[in-house]
A and B are shown apart, each in its own frame.
Chain A
Amino acid sequence: AQSVTQLDSHVSVSEGTPVLLRCNYSSSYSPSLFWYVQHPNKGLQLLLKYTSAATLVKGINGFEAEFKKSETSFHLTKPSAHMSDAAEYFCVVSGGTASKLTFGTGTRLQVTL
């Protein structure tokens, strides 16, 4: 079985400051981990994924995440927030042998001027 816990339901940052969205995971398997973003009234867009290659994963729009097995964490970061980053972010783990995705509860990122 697998699960993810997003530690913050809401994060607010000022434009130009760093972003940190926290995610812990639990998995019976060597996990595949993803971060997806959902803008209002839109579908889900993949930001980045980890599939047992490099532990530091770079994604789109300047986001990156580091897989830390010892801490069972996969936190999402960005050096400098932009107003367009305001959205809901989901940390996701993939199932054992097939593509069933288990989603975290989401973190709403607010970016202020």
Chain B
Amino acid sequence: KAGVTQTPRYLIKTRGQQVTLSCSPISGHRSVSWYQQTPGQGLQFLFEYFSETQRNKGNFPGRFSGRQFSNSRSEMNVSTLELGDSALYLCASSSAGSREETQYFGPGTRLLVL
């Protein structure tokens, strides 16, 4: 099976712009989660989608949003970008999103905000 794929791999944006990141889960997986990784804050949970519904949300401002499509692919959007949004954004997929399951991570999208 193909692994989790994320596009694009690298992005450069300026403050105030918005950005959309895409994640394609492993075939058959219905749960997709997003994480932000920064040197200062480490890895933090953004949100999880299951069957097109947001099921879990972390402590991020409303500028961070996402959605999931019927084929389980997910997008994450960040509006009004700030310098502090520069990070590696990782998505992970699992079959049903239960806590015992392994989450499989993609390679990440590295976002730089200037």
Q: Mark A residues whose CB is within 8 Å of B.
A: 29, 32, 34, 36, 42-46, 49, 51-52, 90, 94-106
Q: Is the CB of A99 within 8 A of B94?
A: yes
Please name all residues of chain A whose beta carbon is closer than 8 Å to the beta carbon of B103 when the two chains form the complex. Answer: 46, 99, 101
Q: Cβ of A100: which chain B residues have Cβ within 8 Å of it?
A: 33, 45, 48, 56, 58
**Does more than half of chain B's interface fall in helix, strand or loop, or is it mixed?**
strand
**B47 → A minimal CB distance (Å):** 9
User: How distant is B55 from chain A, measured CB to nearest CB, in Å?
Assistant: 6
Contacts between the two chains (Cβ within 8 Å), count = 67
Chain B residue, CB-CB nearest to A31: B99
Please name the residue on chain B nearest to A44 by beta carbon: B105
Let me know if A43 and B105 touch, CB within 8 A: yes
State whether A99 and B105 are in contact (beta carbons under 8 Å apart), knowing that A51-B100, A106-B42 are contacts in the complex: no
